[in-house]
Structure 1
Amino acid sequence: MEATVGPLDRFEASKASGFSYAQIGASEDCAWSDVLALIERVGPALLRHVERGEVGRPSLDVAFFVQEDRVTASLLVPNDVVAAIGRFGFDLEASAYVVSA
C-alpha cells in the first residue's frame, strides 16, 4: 500500500473482517489546503484498494478541541475538501476532545 499512497503512520492487517486498516496522519496545525492536497494525492489509489477489497472504506477524521467551559462547538469543513472526499468515497468523521481552559 505504501507504494501507491505513500508512507503510512499505521497499518494493521485484519483477519476478522478481511479489511486492513491504514492511517495517514497530519499535524494538528495542518491547513485545509494541505488536507485537500493529501486527499487529491492518495484518493485515486485508495479508491482502487477499496475496489479490490484490500481496505475498508476510507474516512477523513478531523479532530478539534473544545474548551471544558463551553457548551457547544462547531467545525466548518471547506466545501472543496468535502467535495474531494465525496469524489473518492471517503466518510467524514469529527472527533471532539475536551481540554482544560
Structure 2
Amino acid sequence: MTAPVFDALGDPNRLRIVTRLCEGGPCSTSQVAQVIPVTRQAAAKHLQLLEAVGLVSSTRRGRERIWEVQTRPLAEAGDYLAVLSRRWDATIGRLRAHVEDGS
C-alpha cells in the first residue's frame, strides 16, 4: 500500500530525512537532527513514523540508533506513479485525438 508512504513523505522534514539517508547513507539520530530544523526528540519521532511505514529501519550501535533507508517502499511508490503517469498519458492522447478529429 503506497498511501502511508506518500503521507509520510508529505511532511517536508520527513522528506529531508529520507533524502539525506538516500544520498548520504546510514546515520545516527543525532546526525539526522542536524539535517532538519527540529530537536533530536522531534527527529526521533519523525524517524519512528518513517520506520512504521517501512521507509527506514534502524539498528543499535552502542548508545546510538543508526538509521538507513529501505528502498522497497520507495520503488513501489515509484511504480505506482509510473502507472498513473501512463494512464494520464493515455488520457491526454485520447483528448488530443478527439480535439484534432473535431477540427
TM over 0.5: same fold?
Answer: no
In the superposition, the TM-score normalised over structure 1's length comes to 0.29
Structure with more strand by fraction: 1
Larger Rg: 2
Greater helix content: 2
